[in-house]
Amino acid sequence: MKNIEIEKKFLVDHKKWQLVPKGTGILFDQGYLSIDKDKVVRVRAAGDKGYITVKGASESMVRPEYEYVIPYSDAIELICNFSIGRVKKLRYDVEFGGRRWEVDEFQGDNFGLILAEIELENSDCVIDYPDWILHEVTGDQRYYNSYLSHYPFNAWS
């Protein structure tokens, strides 16, 4: 299967992250149309672009993923009228160790949570870690955006 996502996810150290030159973040507004153990259907408005994504069941850091560009106005309509959960975040792309890291600063009820993700070519890739990485949370479903759309970070005990 060619549409495979191999991704690791990490908590970010707030103090060290503030010192990183990161440029301007892009606002992501994500609505979830379907969430179950076998699949997630997400609509995303990112900057001025729209996307619809279907993700299959996750096996640690690997899962099937299909993502398609859709008109921005359609993305907004789908999010506002059909989503069963929603997440907003600012995303920053940061280069480190020859790789692109995506760092998300969550907004709203998830404010205060900062996660970094890195997509890999295969499960055995060797990664250089920036000093602003705290620890890995890959496979911990509490840090999936679909979970955060229903169980926000600020409501955790």
pTM beyond cutoff 0.75? yes
With CA atoms as reference, report the closest residue to 96 among 117, 74, 70, 123: 117
pLDDT at 46: 98
CA distance to 64, 118, 132, per residue, from 97 (Å): 26, 11, 13
Of 32, 92, 144, 147, which is the active-site residue? 32
Residue 1 above 60 pLDDT?
Answer: no
Distance in angstroms (rounded) separating the CA atoms of residues 155 and 71: 33
pLDDT at 58: 83
Distance in angstroms (rounded) separating the CA atoms of residues 151 and 157: 11
| Helix segments in the chain, DSSP class H | 14-18, 72-82, 145-148
pLDDT at 123: 85
Distance in angstroms (rounded) separating the CA atoms of residues 40 and 58: 10
Q: Is 32 a catalytic residue?
A: yes
CATH fold for the domain made of 4-155: Hypothetical Protein Pfu-838710-001 (2.40.320)
Residue whose tokens read 């890995």? 136
- Answer with the residue of higher pLDDT: 123 or 137: 137
Q: Tell me: the pLDDT tens digits for 3-60?
A: 999 999 999 999 999 999 998 999 999 999 999 989 999 999 999 999 999 999 987 7
With CA atoms as reference, report the closest residue to 68 among 90, 82, 83, 52: 52
Is residue 28 a contact partner of residue 50, using CB atoms and an 8 Å limit? no
Secondary structure class of 73 (helix, strand, coil): helix
Q: Tell me: the pLDDT tens digits for 75-133?
A: 999 999 999 999 999 999 999 999 999 999 999 999 999 999 999 988 888 999 999 99
| Rg of the chain taking only CA atoms, in angstroms | 15
